[in-house]
Amino acid sequence: MFKVEFLVSTTNLASCSRWRDFKSRQRLQVGAKLIIYCMRHSNTEILIHASWTTLYQQALIEPYLQSFIHCFLRFQFAKLQCPALLINGDSSHVHCLFQLSQTKSLSQVMKQVKGSSSFLFNKYNLSPIKFHWEKGFKAYSFASSELNVIITQLKLQSSLVELNS
């Protein structure tokens, strides 16, 4: 946000009368100081932790494919102007931590990411059976001050999954 100050002259007083919603234009006089606060550009920082599973939580993502799929998902998020901060998961589900674009809705992003990855699996027969993601997803937003805690939890969760398998 920035502040604009200017002195009211006869020229800009006339232009003020064209502002429909400028309620105080009657109180403006020549020589008065006018202060306006303006936003430079829209700036959003919506951090999302999303997760989704394979259909019926089947173990369809082979361990040797996981890093490839995570890389592909990272590329899809980047194409949508939603930088991925962390992607992990196991053979039946995926966790993604990303920044939501200010021009896309969460449902648009998830539809594209899940749809394109499902298409990739089926086009190149990366799964022993026809690949589908479960309908829907879980998504949580959180404050940027919590970012390090969330990243630590997701990395720890990934380590626990590896220990249990």
Nearest to 43 by CA among 104, 1, 93: 1
Q: Domains of the chain, with CATH numbers? A: 2-38 (no CATH), 46-164 (3.30.70.1290)
Q: Which of 6-10, 28-32, 105-109 has the lowest mean pLDDT?
A: 6-10
Section 37-56 average pLDDT? 83
In this structure, the number of other CB atoms found within 10 A of the CB of residue 144 comes to: 10
Angle at 67 between CA 60 and CA 77, to 5 degrees: 95
Q: For residue 53, what pLDDT is reported?
A: 96
**CB neighbour list of residue 49: distance below 8 Å, 6 or more residues apart:** 95, 96, 97, 139, 140, 141, 142, 150, 154
Break the chain down into helix, strand, coil percent, rounded to 5. Answer: 45, 25, 30
Q: Which of 20-34, 72-86, 132-146 has the lowest mean pLDDT?
A: 20-34
Q: For residue 18, what pLDDT is reported?
A: 46
The distance in angstroms from the start CA to the end CA of the chain is 51
What is the average pLDDT score of the chain? Answer: 81
Compute the distance between CA of residue 72 and CA of residue 74 in angstroms, rounded to an integer: 5
Q: Residue 98: what are its φ and ψ, rounded to 5°? A: -145, 165
Section 119-124 average pLDDT? 96
E strand residue ranges, the chain: 2-7, 33-38, 46-53, 84-89, 93-100, 138-142
Q: C-alpha dihedral over 108, 111, 113, 114, to 10 degrees?
A: 160
Q: Which of 28-32, 97-101, 147-151 has the lowest mean pLDDT?
A: 28-32
In this structure, the number of other CB atoms found within 10 A of the CB of residue 121 comes to: 21
